[in-house]
Amino acid sequence: MNAVTFVIIGASGDLATHKIVPALFALFIRRLLPEDFRVFGFCRTKMTDEVFRERLAMSLTSRCKNETNCSLYVGEFLARCHASSGAYDDVDAYLDLYARMAAVETAPEKRCRMFYMAIPPTVFSPVTRALGESGLVRCGDAEHWSRVVVEKPFGRDRETSDQLVAEMAHVFLESETFRIDHYLAKELVQNLLVLRLANPLFEPVWNAGAVERVDIVWKESKSLQGRAGYFDTFGIVRDVMQNHLLQILALIAIEPPGAPTATAIRDAKVRLLKAIRPLTPADVVFAQYDEGVHPVTQEMIPGYRDEPGVAKDSRTPTYASVRLAINTPRWQGVPFTVTAGKGMDESLTEVRIVFRKSGTPLFPDAAHNQLILRVQPDEAITHVLNVKTPGLSNALHQLPLNLLYKEHLTESLPDAYERLLLDVLNGDRALFIRADELAAAWDIFTPLLHACEANPETPLARYPFGAANVAE
């Protein structure tokens, strides 16, 4: 593998220090990084290399199971980490970065470069332009490549997304652009196609003839925790639903890809997304949390509008539930309900596939079979079946058959960022969002977002922080 320099733009933020760099360290311990690599953190805060390394050291080993073993590698890894600073849109600052890189790199002209934008989406475009003007990016060089990793959300709607795609294309080719959605690298999400297509038990009933409905639920028991500026600008739909949860839906509902390749899988996802009817205000329930009790700490949490940094008249939803209709023969008439809420009673991501009742007159009381896929926490696959109640009674009851990953699969599961960063290094694009896929996803949600934001009378329900559900 060629020598690589990782450039993390926004290196003083939580994403860089708690996710990206610990993931790189975990890959380093497993000897999955090139022998010759460097990490450069670029941010607006002026830092020496020593200060930068001290900040990284506080969370560097968060992915390590064996702390003693990990400590043997810390010094060697941190010695390869360097800091540089300047305004995000300042070309001269990136020229200074290049000079710092050249001072410690071997053969700078032959190194590959990965640029990770751990920054607010509002500055993606100016940073891209400055990188291009500085000459740091080698566009189209397959051997000594430059690649860029972009975090969601990718725009605010279809128009701004298209603008961002076009602006980044002036500097990076589409093949060099990796739009990251870390949910795609979660173990249970990666297992969706395997579960469907490698087990003949499921594919014959994976259709409208056998499935009554599909529910995808995302809950979070946290408050804003310092993210008010970001969240109040984007809201729950753009933050979670249009990307993470829609990606899960796509993998559940796509037609079997023609080949196990990144192109075939993403082609199938695009076809599926284009078959989903665009949403209208009639398809959604919006809500916002009020003051309530935290389900774990039991402390009183202020209402959303009383959070620091949130406008007192904010109408940003912290909860949304939408019903999606997929216009394909496989799913005609099957409702896909996608729900996401902050300030709820627990934190989980779960898919619930509810099958139609058997219809046999022998067992009129038989309940729905269900296949429950828990993405987080504690990954699990549960199949809920009807069984006879033990004993002399002939009554039925439901029995869950559980596969709990932590009990049956003892190998440590890699963090999503470890998998994604390794895929970027290897040029594997299967778990990243293609431009036409992004456009198709925005086409589903843009009409809804525009209609609701243009109408100040759009209904906005209220619920107490810590609620189990929202009355609809």
354 contacts 370 by C-beta, under 8 angstroms: yes
Structural tokens at position 311? 């406008």
Q: Which of 18, 144, 170, 244 is catalytic?
A: 244
Q: H-helix or E-strand containing 228?
A: helix 228-236
- What's the half-sphere exposure (Cβ side, CA atoms, 13 Å) at 361? 0
448 contacts 281 by C-beta, under 8 angstroms: yes
Q: Is 244 a catalytic residue?
A: yes
Torsion of CA 135, 164, 178, 86, to 10 degrees: 50
DSSP annotation string for 112-163: EEEEEE-S-GGGHHHHHHHHHHHT---TT-SSS-EEEEEESP--SSHHHHHH
Tell me the longest C-alpha to C-alpha distance in the chain. Answer: 82
Structural tokens at position 409? 């699969």
Strand locations in 263-395 (E): 284-290, 292-293, 300-301, 319-325, 335-342, 348-355, 370-376, 380-388
Q: How many CB atoms lie within 10 A of CB 329?
A: 10
CA dihedral (283, 288, 292, 293) positive or negative: positive
- The residues annotated as belonging to the active site are 244
